[in-house]
Amino acid sequence: MKLIKFIFFKLTRLIYLFPSILILRIKGLKKNYIYNRDKKFLIESRKEMQSILFEIENFLLTEKKNEIDKIISEYLKQNKYYTEIEFLLSENLQNKLLKTLKEKEFIQYLSNFFGYQLKFNSFLIRLNFFNSTLPDNEGPKMWHRDNDSFFGQIKLFSVLNNLDTKTGGLFSFIPQKFIKDYEFVSNSYVDHNLSLQDQRSRVLNSEMNKIRDVGKNIIEFGKNKNEFLAVDTNDTYHKGGLMKQQGSLRLLLQVIYEPHYNLLSNYNSMYNRNILITSIKNILTGFKNRLRTKIEI
Ligand SMILES: [Fe+2]
């Protein structure tokens, strides 16, 4: 049964991504070919990105400081710990950032790494802030995978401001080399204090820690603000965003790159308008999750 599920999982992925793989083969695989079967994430730095993100950090933390303080106090009243603030950027900064993120050569580089043609979809800037009233173990701060797209969607992250272990806010993930895309971890008991979604689809720290050697394989990203991380969050366990220090905040750039042909995605402009696409995406994503094999602890 395990083998059949594995074959179906891989086959479904291949069929879905095949047109995007084909396009890459035709387009530019020979140039700059770095596809690595094992390493399914990329942590690197890129000068053009560094300089625009440095400008954005300065702009947000100086010119927009008062507005950010106001936003934080508003959201704290609603007992939240994050919000999106890309609307604060000037038009000039937005355009510069978009130009860098949409650069053909860069998208080609990412496409070659992941093995299929990617295209830019959208970006946001997330503001995370300290909220002493919220528990560590809830929502996206618990181990989870996203369900945004059926297969192949890549999220690129870069932290704009300085973070360390004291401030918190680091993004943790477990590389697919350790927990494969076709495997899953489940909680051995139900924590009724959690929301239904957390109970059903997210993994407690204590449960993840039961997996042998997991601690050695967790990667924490965000201490070096010059770096970016590109990873498939739909197939890689991750968590993050918990600020630990009073007054600390995190500014995070999140960019969506998706397969060239990607109909089954929450980021598809038709997703919310076309009930057929919404239903097919949700049914197939559920089917995909059922094809995964549980890791026995
Ligand atoms: Fe996530």
- The CATH number linked to 125 is 2.60.120.620
Residue with tokens 């007054």: 247
CA of 236 to the centre of ligand 1 (A): 9
Question: Model-level pTM?
Answer: 0.94
What pLDDT, on the 0 to 100 scale, is given for residue 32? Answer: 56
Instruction: Please report, to the nearest 10 degrees, the dihedral formed by the alpha carbons of residues 76, 78, 79, 84 taken in order.
Output: -70
Q: Are 297 and 188 in contact (CB under 8 A)?
A: yes
CA of 144 to the centre of ligand 1 (A): 6
CA of 147 to the centre of ligand 1 (A): 8
- The neighbourhood of ligand 1, an ion, using CB within 5 A, equals 140, 146
CA of 20 to the centre of ligand 1 (A): 24
Structurally, how many domains does the chain consist of? 1
What pLDDT, on the 0 to 100 scale, is given for residue 35? Answer: 60
Dist CA 207 CA 214 (whole Å): 11
Q: Is 48 helix (H, G, I), strand (E, B) or coil?
A: helix
CA of 155 to the centre of ligand 1 (A): 10
Closest C-alpha among 156, 123, 142, 120 to residue 41:
156
CA of 243 to the centre of ligand 1 (A): 16
Degrees (nearest 5) of the Cα angle 144, 265, 225?
55
CA of 99 to the centre of ligand 1 (A): 26
pLDDT tens series, the chain, 297 aa: 899 999 999 999 999 999 999 999 887 665 556 666 667 999 999 999 999 999 999 999 999 999 999 999 999 999 999 999 999 999 999 999 999 999 999 999 999 999 999 999 999 999 999 998 887 778 888 999 999 999 999 999 999 999 988 999 999 999 999 999 999 999 988 888 888 888 888 999 999 999 999 999 999 999 999 899 999 999 999 998 789 999 899 999 999 999 999 999 999 888 878 899 899 999 999 999 999 999 987
CA of 239 to the centre of ligand 1 (A): 6
Parent domain of 241: 2-294
- The dihedral of CA 153, 266, 24, 111: what is its sign? negative
CA of 27 to the centre of ligand 1 (A): 31
Q: How far is CA 3 from CA 139, 212, 250, in A?
A: 32, 22, 42
Radius of gyration of the chain (CA): 19
CA of 110 to the centre of ligand 1 (A): 20
List of residues 6+ apart from 93 with CB closer than 8 A = 52, 55, 56, 59
What pLDDT, on the 0 to 100 scale, is given for residue 151? Answer: 97
Q: Are 200 and 259 in contact (CB under 8 A)?
A: no
